[in-house]
A = this chain, B = another copy of it.
Amino acid sequence: MPARKQTKAPPVMAEADIAIVRIAPETSFKNKAYEALKEAILKMDIYATPEQVMLDERALSERLGVSRTPIREAIAMLEQDGFVKTVPRRGIVVVRRTKTEIVDMIRAWAALESMAARLITTTARKKDITALRDFFKDFGKDRLPQDHVEEYSKANIAFHQALISLSESPVLVDLTNDLLLHVRGYRQLTIGRKDRTATSLPEHLGIIEALEARDTELAEKRARDHTLGLAAYVEAHGQELFS
């Protein structure tokens, strides 16, 4: 049996020199494809176009410069996430949610966030809670949220995510983020549009106050009612937002 030639130079370097960077698993193509496709799907406004958006394995593999195999694995993952649905010999379709489904998701979000609020009152540090106000420091009497809907919407999302994070519950954080990704698919519904924006800020501050006061029940209720309010809003005014 012929010996395999060795081209690798002997490692003469000194050990334990710099903090080992964990070698960076250099994400596989599968994961890269997953991230790329996920971002692409989230970026596009799937509710804007009349006909459903389809994906093509081969086209994607060419665009991303990899074979179909990792693409298919990425698609399988996206399907688990509910972003995509592959129909046997038809194609891969980007899932469009109905108004009912979105409302349903927002309710679940409300449930998770109210639990987060509950937990926060018992574990979070005062300064971290107070820091939540910073998300809205750019808004006030002289700069109304309803006059900067886009910007306020971003602050809104950031606030909610920061809030959940304070619960220090990975499960709540992950589940909520997943839901948020789906809900945010609706561009037009920038998380409570102009008319809701006005009441949004005071409610947020109310939540923060309850958290600071360590009033578990009140914080939970306010967090829940706030998000349920959004659900009700979408349910009532959602017609025009959906196809």
Which residues of A approach B to under 8 Å, CB–CB? 25, 28, 30, 69, 72-74, 76-77, 79-81, 88, 101, 104-105, 107-108, 110-112, 114-115, 119, 169-172, 175, 179, 224
Contacts and interface: CB of A to CB of B under 8 A. Distances in A.
Contacts of A224: 115
Contact of A169 (B76, B81, B108): B108
Contact of A88 (B25, B108, B110, B172): B25
14 contacts: A28-B88, A73-B76, A105-B171, A107-B119, A107-B172, A108-B112, A108-B115, A108-B171, A108-B175, A111-B111, A111-B112, A111-B115, A112-B112, A171-B179
A114 B11 CA distance: 59
Contacts of A104: 169-172
Contacts of A169: 104, 107-108
Nearest to A182: B171
Contact of A172 (B76, B108, B115): B108
Across chains A and B, which 7 residue pairs bring their CB atoms closest together, nearest first?
A111-B115, A80-B80, A73-B76, A104-B171, A108-B171, A111-B111, A77-B80
A37 to B, nearest CB: 13
B73 A107 contact: no
A221 to B, nearest CB: 9
A88 B25 CA distance: 8
B111 A172 contact: yes
A114 B114 CA distance: 10
Contacts of A179: 171
A212 to B, nearest CB: 22
Contacts of A171: 101, 104-105, 107-108, 179
A224 B172 CA distance: 15
A200 B116 CA distance: 25
A77 B84 CA distance: 13
Nearest to A114: B111
Contacts of A111: 111-112, 114-115, 172
